[in-house]
C-alpha cells in the first residue's frame, strides 16, 4: 500500500511542477502583393506589384495561464508590431488611438491577430494602420481634405510565415510523466501475471 501512495505522490509532484512560463516569440511574414493608391478628391491611381522580399514582423510575450495550448489576448504581456506596443495601449490617447481587436497563437504554430492604430495632427493630416492576418496590412495617410495615399500589403498563397521559437515540442517533464506512467503499467502487469 505504501508503494502505491509513494508512486501516486511522485506522479502528482511531477504534474504540479510543470507549468507555463512567460515566453517571447518573434514572427515574420514575407512575400506580399503591394498595392499603392494615390488619391486626390475623387481621382485615384492604383499600382499593384508582387514583392517576394517584402516583410512584416513583430514579437509577442505571453504565458499560457489556463494551460489550453492557446495563447489568447488576455494572456499577452507584450505585442510589438510596426514599432507599436499593442498591449496596454488600447483606447484614445489624444491624437493617437490603438486597438488590439483579437489575438491567438496555438501550440501548432497558428498565429492570428487583428489590430489597428491611427494618428491625427490638428485635423490637417493623419494616418494609420490596420492589420488582419491572412488578409493584409492596410496603411493610409491623408493630408488636408482631398489628398490621401494607401499602401497595402496583401496576403497571397505565396506569403510565408516564420516564428521563433518554432512550435513547442513536449517538455522533459512531459516525457518524465509518460515514462513514469509506462513503468507503473508494466509493474501492474507483472504483478497481475505473478498472481
pLDDT in tens, 68-83: 999 999 999 999 998 8
How high does pLDDT run on average in the chain?
83
pLDDT of the chain along its 195 residues, tens only? 556 554 555 554 444 444 458 999 999 999 999 999 998 877 889 999 999 999 999 999 999 999 999 999 999 999 999 888 899 887 766 678 888 999 999 988 999 999 999 888 877 788 999 999 999 999 999 888 788 899 999 999 999 999 998 775 555 566 667 677 777 777 777 778 887
Same domain assignment for residues 188 and 130: no
Same domain assignment for residues 14 and 94: no
DSSP 19: -
Same domain assignment for residues 31 and 87: yes
The count of C-alpha atoms lying within 13 angstroms of the C-alpha of 42, restricted to the half-sphere facing its C-beta, is 0
Same domain assignment for residues 184 and 135: no
For the whole model, what pTM was predicted? 0.71
Question: In which domain, by residue range, is 8 found?
Answer: 1-18+171-195
Same domain assignment for residues 58 and 3: no
- How far is residue 44's CA from residue 4's CA, in Å, rounded to a whole number? 77
62 CB burial (10 A radius; 0-12, 13-18, 19+): buried
Q: Peptide bond preceding 91: is omega within 30 degrees of 0, i.e. cis? A: no
Same domain assignment for residues 99 and 120: yes
Name the 3-class secondary structure at 3: helix
pLDDT, residue 15, reads 44
Other CB atoms within 10 A of residue 106 CB: 13
**Phi, psi at residue 55, to the nearest 5°?**
-130, 140
Amino acid at each position: 500500500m505504501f508503494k502505491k501512495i509513494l508512486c501516486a505522490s511522485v506522479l502528482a509532484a511531477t504534474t504540479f511542477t510543470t507549468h507555463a512560463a512567460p515566453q517571447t516569440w518573434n514572427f515574420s511574414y514575407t512575400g506580399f502583393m503591394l498595392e499603392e493608391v494615390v488619391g486626390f478628391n475623387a481621382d485615384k491611381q492604383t499600382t499593384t506589384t508582387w514583392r517576394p522580399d517584402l516583410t512584416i514582423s513583430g514579437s509577442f510575450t505571453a504565458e499560457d495561464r489556463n494551460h489550453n495550448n492557446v495563447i489568447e489576448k488576455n494572456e499577452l504581456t507584450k505585442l510589438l508590431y510596426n514599432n507599436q506596443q499593442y498591449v496596454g495601449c488600447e483606447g484614445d490617447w489624444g491624437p493617437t488611438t490603438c486597438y488590439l481587436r483579437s489575438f491567438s497563437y496555438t501550440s501548432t504554430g497558428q498565429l492570428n491577430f487583428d489590430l489597428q492604430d491611427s494618428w491625427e495632427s490638428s485635423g490637417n493630416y493623419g494616418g494609420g494602420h490596420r492589420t488582419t492576418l491572412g488578409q493584409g496590412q492596410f496603411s493610409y495617410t491623408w493630408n488636408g481634405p482631398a489628398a490621401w495615399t494607401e499602401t497595402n500589403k496583401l496576403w497571397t498563397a505565396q506569403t510565408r510565415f516564420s516564428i521563433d521559437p518554432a512550435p513547442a515540442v513536449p517538455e522533459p517533464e512531459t516525457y518524465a510523466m509518460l515514462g513514469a506512467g509506462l513503468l507503473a503499467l508494466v509493474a501492474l502487469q507483472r504483478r497481475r501475471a505473478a498472481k
